[in-house]
Homo-oligomer: A and B are copies of this chain.
Amino acid sequence: MIIPTYEDAVAAHERIRPYIHRTPVLTSTYMNAITGAQLFFKCENFQKAGAFKARGASNAVFGLDDEKAKLGVATHSSGNHALSLSYAAGRRGIPCHVVMPRTAPQAKKDAVAGYGGKITECEPSTSSREAVFAEVQAATGADFVHPYNDPRVIAGQATCSRELVEDIGDLDAVVAPIGGGGMISGSCLTLSNIAPSTKIYAAEPKNADDAYRSFKAGHIIADDAPQTVADGLKVPLKDLTWHFVSNHVSDIFTATEQEIIDAMYLTWQRMKIVVEPSCAVPLAVILKNREVFEGKRVGVIITGGNVDLNKLPWMTG
């Protein structure tokens, strides 16, 4: 296990700067009023390819030497990581191979293809995915970039909190959603180095609370196929992200499906931004745990904005 250092994060920031947006930090009088806190929303929904994942993917892609890069990169994902890796590979002009279940929504396949990703379909099972992925890698020699359990990816995600601290200054706390733990690990990497007094909280759907239970148990617990509207947060922690979570996270809070949907609706309605359900989990837990955040300066990571506009969760209830 190679644990990335803060120097890796600084190097990542230099490396990816031409390929990512320095996203804005928004504030909202209304959100401050209803939470009693001073909230700073770091808007990675405005990031390239629509999510913070462009940071880690760009760091992995542009960190390859020319010889390795020629063979391209590969991953298995049907979400933002696949989009972001396709985007970054496209910017470098190298192939990106994405293994996706044939049952994935056509819109997601189209989006990956739109960024130039080459899709190979597998059956919707772990065994098929692993077998097909191994074939693709053997045939191409492409470099595997895991969505989160990869030191290059975590160092890339770490640049997000770095910008937040540079732009906003001291924060009492940062809250980010947790799924596999890539964003939280990056936040831990940066904040433990440059803002060690800032507390780091993870926000998780109650319906996919494996990180919460892992945190309380002191070891990784992985759920089998949890169901939540926050579809970016279904994946389990892995050894590298567990390292950061277990060492640097102050606490993990959970929110119900309805609390997540309500917070998402409120964010669209009052802040006029399109955010994924996953991004609403931090606001939901801040509203729910008022006593923890009241009177504090709190950074909130808005992780992405890739959502099916034809199927909004408050309309299907």
Contact = CB atoms under 8 A, between A and B. Distances in A.
Interface of A: 24, 26, 45-46, 50, 265, 268-269, 271-275, 305, 309-310, 312, 314-315
Contacts of A309: 265, 268-269, 312, 314
- Shortest 8 CB-CB contacts between residues of A and residues of B: A272-B305, A272-B274, A45-B272, A268-B274, A268-B309, A46-B272, A269-B309, A273-B273
Contacts of A50: 272
The oligomer's copy count stands at: 2
Nearest to A274: B272
A184 to B, nearest CB: 22
Contacts of A310: 314-315
A315 B316 CA distance: 12
A314 B50 CA distance: 21
Given A24-B24, A272-B273, A272-B275, 5 more contacts: A45-B272, A268-B309, A269-B309, A309-B312, A310-B315
Nearest to A311: B315
Q: Kindly name the residue among A24, A269, A310 whose own CB sees the greatest number of chain B CB atoms within 10 A.
A: A269
Contacts of A268: 274, 309
A293 to B, nearest CB: 23
A192 to B, nearest CB: 30
Contacts of A271: 46
